[in-house]
Amino acid sequence: MGPSVARARPSAWFWSVCLLLLLADQITKGLVRHHLAPGEFVALVGDHVGLRLILNSSSAFGLIRAPWLSLASGMAVLVVIPVYVARGVLGRHPRLAVPLALLFGGSLGNLVDRLRFRAVTDFIDFRVWPVFNIADAAITLGVAALAIFILRERPGAEDRPQTT
C-alpha cells in the first residue's frame, strides 16, 4: 500500500463520518419537528428517557445565553478543521479522522438549524441533563476523543519516566 492510499483512508473516513452524521442529525431533527409539538414529551424508557422538542436559540445545551458565541465557535470549527485536513493532518495522525469528523459534522448540523430556523432543534431528554440532539452528542464525543488524543500524543510523553 503506497503513501497516497494510506493518506486517503483517514480522509475518506473523515468525510464519510461527516456526511453520515449530518444526515442522521438532520433526518432525526426533521422527524421530531414534524411529529412533536414544542415542549411535548414522549417517554421511551419509563419516565427517565424520552423525546422532547425544544427549539434552542441559546448555546451549549441551553446553558449559555449567548447565541453569537455558539455561532462564532461553530463557524471557527467549520473553517479550521477543513484547513487542517487539507494540510494533511490526517496523513500524520489518522486517528484524528473520527474525532475531527464528529466536531465538524456536529457543528455543521447545528449551524444548518441556526441558519434555517434561528434555533437548534433539541429532542433527546434524559430528564437529568439538558435536552440535546445527535449533533450535540457528536460534538461532545469529538471533544472528549480529541482531548484523549492530545493527552496521549503530546510531545515527549513517551520519554517521561513511568510512575507506579
Contacts with 117 (C-beta within 8 Å, 6 or more apart), sequence order: 55
Contacts with 128 (C-beta within 8 Å, 6 or more apart), sequence order: none
Residues annotated catalytic, as ranges: 122, 136
Q: H or E stretch including 99?
A: helix 97-117
Distances from the Cα of 122 to the Cα of 40, 61, 72, 73, angstroms: 12, 9, 19, 18
Give the relative orientation of helices 97-117 and 134-153 as an angle to the nearest 10 degrees.
150
> Tens of pLDDT along 102-150?
999 999 999 999 889 989 999 999 988 899 999 999 999 999 999 999 8
pLDDT band of residue 5 (cuts 50, 70, 90) is very low
Mean of pLDDT over the chain: 85
CA distance 157 to 164: 16
